[in-house]
Amino acid sequence: MKEITVKSVLNRKKKRDSWFLDDYTLNPYEGCSFNCQYCYIRGSKYGENMEEKLSVKINGPEVLDKQLAFRVKKEQQGMIALASATDPYIAAEEKYCITAQFLKIIHKHRFPVLMITKSEMIMRDLDILKQIHRDAVHAPELRGKIPGAVISFSLSTLSDDISATLEPGAPLPMKRLQTMKLLKDAGFFVGVNCIPVLPFISDTEEQLDRLVCAAKDHDADYILIGGLTLFGNQPADSKVLYYKFLERKFPHLIPDYKRLYRIFFYPPKSYQQELERKADAICKKYNIRRSILAPS
């Protein structure tokens, strides 16, 4: 683990994210030891996501304190997504506790937070998350519509075998759902990010039904469902690594993927529309909403 100092840790978005409702992103680490092969960071403009390139922003808490104080003076409260380009609870967090320190500073300045994770380590921070949940002040247009802390657990599949191959450093899917249920029982607003679902593997009607049913059975308040992006052509890029996964596990699907993606990073609009149709129908069946914010 490399220790680095930074001048800034809080990234303000030009526009609030329509899915996650965050105005800011915050990453305590560079890189991610969960090592998810499909991660959009790999090969994208945001850089690589390799375990051997892990860095901790050792002065991050001090920098965040100053940046949030400035935003409060400017009356620029908004949701902070923690984290957007790593998991806030990678193994290094046990030693460095940067995420824990970030949460205390977020509470100090009364910002709301969206936690995006695959890890049960989040249970360590239950007390400070409860304080944020209670005390955070949203931007005016979101006040009273969502609580101060929103917690999302990411899933791409319910298969332990696929997860162990594609997400080798992450807890298995059922452990994530069980942790989410514990947080729901503790009074939090929780959900599942099925982003990405895997074409021809976990995006079929049968597999989507299983994912949504599992989320509902574990008391998720919402579920977000989105497609897979595949970036880059270098050895460490998501497209290359994902095709190696297909060669090992699903070689018969490679022609289907090549037809679906062609030369692009994203599946075509027709695929996205069909995924939306299936997701809408299945979520309606289980009476679970597809957004963090309740439909107006």
User: Concatenated DSSP letters for 26-42?
Assistant: E-SEES-TT--TT-TTT
- 5 pLDDT band, cuts 50/70/90, is very high
* Helix (H/G/I), strand (E/B), else coil: 173: helix
55-57 and 113-117 beta bridge pairing: unpaired
* Domains of the chain listed by start with CATH number: 2-286 (3.20.20.70)
* Helix (H/G/I), strand (E/B), else coil: 140: helix
What is residue 189's DSSP assignment? E
Encode pLDDT of 151-204 as tens digits. Answer: 999 999 999 999 999 999 999 999 999 999 999 999 999 999 999 999 999 999
129-146 mean pLDDT: 95
CA 71 – CA 176 distance, rounded (Å) = 33
Encode pLDDT of 81-120 as tens digits. Answer: 998 899 999 999 999 999 999 999 999 999 999 999 999 9
Mean predicted lDDT score pLDDT of the chain: 94
CA 291 – CA 90 distance, rounded (Å) = 26
Encode pLDDT of 21-58 as tens digits. Answer: 999 999 999 989 898 998 877 765 444 444 457 899 99
CA 236 – CA 19 distance, rounded (Å) = 28
Whether the full predicted model's pTM is greater than 0.85, yes or no, is yes
56-76 mean pLDDT: 97
Comparing C-alpha atoms, which of 152, 141, 113 is closest to residue 28? 113
CA 242 – CA 38 distance, rounded (Å) = 6
Confidence (pLDDT) at 293: 94
123-149 mean pLDDT: 96
Comparing C-alpha atoms, which of 130, 159, 115, 284 is closest to residue 216? 284
User: Concatenated DSSP letters for 268-293?
Assistant: -HHHHHHHHHHHHHHHHHHT-BSSSS
CA 11 – CA 17 distance, rounded (Å) = 13
CA 195 – CA 118 distance, rounded (Å) = 12
Amino acid identity, position 223 = I
Confidence (pLDDT) at 43: 64
